[in-house]
């Protein structure tokens, strides 16, 4: 049988992870979610709780002091945190995004330098690919890197960098051969204390307000030569392989947001009375709720299947990952919008969490590749078959 058609199985360990993360999320993260959004401020309580429980970067292999969790366990962690606070779920999600290029392509020396501090919770990792004029078109990037003796020198600016200013390490894509298109892109690890590195403008955003999104700048930024990830010119390939693994985390975040909106809606419609009875008794409300739960569960299953394919490195991973992220994020936007509708006028106020969830859901359709790009990826994969 083609391994791409194998199904996944949730184990007792997966159930244990879910129960543990849910308890932490409800006790140590959810109480601060509203304040994190309104201030807005970084969810330090969430980081402290995730680090102390070991759920901040569960994907890092055991040989680098990590938990060595599989891809399904990783998306369960992100899903459960996003269920109460989308901003906080970006702590484990972006740690994976930033460090995955190292895990996939870096030298053993570099892995042993940068992965253990992240596994121990002493450092975080961000990912820097996009630029103002090079979002979906990565080949249009202007950031440059040149080898100068035993150092690489980087110049340029990256934007939309999640958790910038909070992370210690940054995986940075830069052109080492400007005339070679995507084959001229290389990947590097930059430390926050490297000379010439700085964090710039912080964006004011619609949602995920607790997670800082900033520009980062490189002005003759010098890093040791051994901080290149893989060989020169392999950065774009590493970036694409990384996204095959990490689009799942955005899908998981989307599923978590949708589930949080369903949970809030269930509690509200049972209590809210109109025309002398609970609005949960009205068929129109029941149909909305059923569709919300049905689509969220379908998205969850698609994410878990794709995570299983990531674990087995099946040939159709690129399609499965793009499909899972695209579907789950569209579902999250639909479900949270319906949740606001179920709450009526109250849903439009900050007294209830569904308006925050709706704002947070929107970004899942945009980052790590817009859903228009995901559909292009899927179509190309189909046409190759």
Q: Which of 219, 235, 251 is the last residue of a domain?
A: 235
Q: Which residue has the tokens 């080898």?
A: 147
CATH of the domain at 218: 2.40.110.10
CATH of the domain at 368: 1.20.140.10
User: What is the C-alpha separation between 380 and 62, in angstroms, rounded?
Assistant: 36
pLDDT number for residue 186: 98
Q: Which of 205, 235, 265 is the last residue of a domain?
A: 235
- Of 79, 131, 355, 368, the catalytic one is 368
Tally of structural domains, the chain: 3
Q: What averages of pLDDT result for each successive group of 10 residues across the chain (385 residues)?
A: 66 98 98 98 98 98 98 98 98 98 98 98 98 89 97 98 98 97 97 98 97 98 98 97 97 99 98 96 98 98 97 95 98 98 98 98 97 98 94
Do residue 379 and residue 247 come from a single domain?
yes
pLDDT number for residue 7: 72
pLDDT number for residue 1: 38
Do residue 272 and residue 372 come from a single domain?
yes
Q: Which residue has the tokens 């990912």?
A: 127
Yes or no: say if 255 and 264 are a contact pair by the CB < 8 Å rule. no
| pTM of the model as a whole | 0.97
User: What is the C-alpha separation between 74 and 53, in angstroms, rounded?
Assistant: 14
pLDDT number for residue 2: 53
Yes or no: say if 303 and 248 are a contact pair by the CB < 8 Å rule. yes
pLDDT number for residue 136: 87
First to last CA, the chain: 17
Q: Which of 235, 261, 289 is the last residue of a domain?
A: 235
Do residue 247 and residue 378 come from a single domain?
yes
Whether 368 is catalytic is: yes
* Reduced DSSP (H G I as helix, E B as strand, rest coil) percent helix, strand, coil of the chain, to 5: 60, 15, 25
Print the domain residue range for 358. 236-384
Yes or no: say if 360 and 332 are a contact pair by the CB < 8 Å rule. no
Bridge partners of residue 147, in order along the sequence: 152
DSSP string over 176-193: SSTTSGGGGEEEEEEETT
Do residue 244 and residue 380 come from a single domain?
yes
In this structure, the number of other CB atoms found within 10 A of the CB of residue 3 comes to 11
């Amino acid at each position: 049988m083609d391994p791409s058609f194998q199904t996944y199985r949730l184990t007792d360990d997966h159930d244990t992870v879910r129960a543990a993360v849910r308890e932490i999320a409800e006790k140590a993260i959810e109480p601060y979610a509203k304040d994190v959004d309104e201030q807005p401020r970084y969810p330090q309580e969430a980081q402290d709780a995730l680090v102390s429980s070991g759920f901040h970067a569960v994907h890092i292999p055991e040989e680098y002091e990590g938990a060595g969790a599989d891809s399904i366990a990783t998306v369960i962690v992100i899903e459960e945190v996003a269920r109460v606070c989308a901003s906080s779920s970006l702590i484990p999600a972006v740690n994976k995004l930033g460090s995955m290029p190292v895990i996939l392509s870096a030298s053993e020396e570099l892995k042993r330098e940068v992965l253990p501090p992240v596994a121990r919770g002493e450092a975080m990792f961000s990912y820097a690919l996009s630029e103002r004029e090079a979002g979906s078109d990565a080949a249009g990037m202007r950031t440059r890197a040149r080898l100068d003796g035993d150092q690489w020198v980087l110049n340029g600016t990256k934007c939309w960098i999640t958790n910038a200013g909070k992370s210690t390490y940054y995986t940075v894509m830069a052109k080492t051969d400007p005339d070679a298109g995507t084959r001229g892109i290389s990947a590097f690890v930059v430390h926050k204390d490297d000379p010439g590195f700085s964090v710039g403008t912080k964006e004011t955003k619609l949602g995920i307000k607790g997670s800082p999104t900033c520009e980062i700048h490189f002005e003759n930024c010098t890093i040791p030569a051994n901080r290149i990830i893989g060989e020169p010119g392999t950065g774009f390939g590493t970036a694409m392989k990384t996204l095959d693994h990490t689009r799942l985390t955005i899908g998981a975040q989307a599923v978590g947001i949708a589930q949080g909106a369903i949970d809030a809606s269930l509690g509200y419609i049972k209590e809210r009375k109109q025309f002398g009875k609970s609005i949960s008794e009205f068929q129109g409300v029941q149909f909305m709720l059923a569709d919300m739960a049905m689509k969220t569960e379908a998205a969850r299953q698609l994410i878990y299947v794709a995570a299983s394919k990531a674990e087995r490195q099946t040939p159709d991973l690129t399609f499965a990952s793009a499909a899972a992220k695209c579907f789950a994020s569209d579902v999250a936007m639909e479900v949270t919008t319906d949740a606001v509708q179920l709450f009526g006028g109250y849903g439009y106020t900050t007294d209830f969490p569904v308006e925050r969830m709706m704002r947070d859901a929107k970004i899942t359709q945009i980052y790590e590749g817009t859903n228009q790009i995901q559909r292009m990826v899927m179509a190309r994969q189909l046409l190759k078959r």
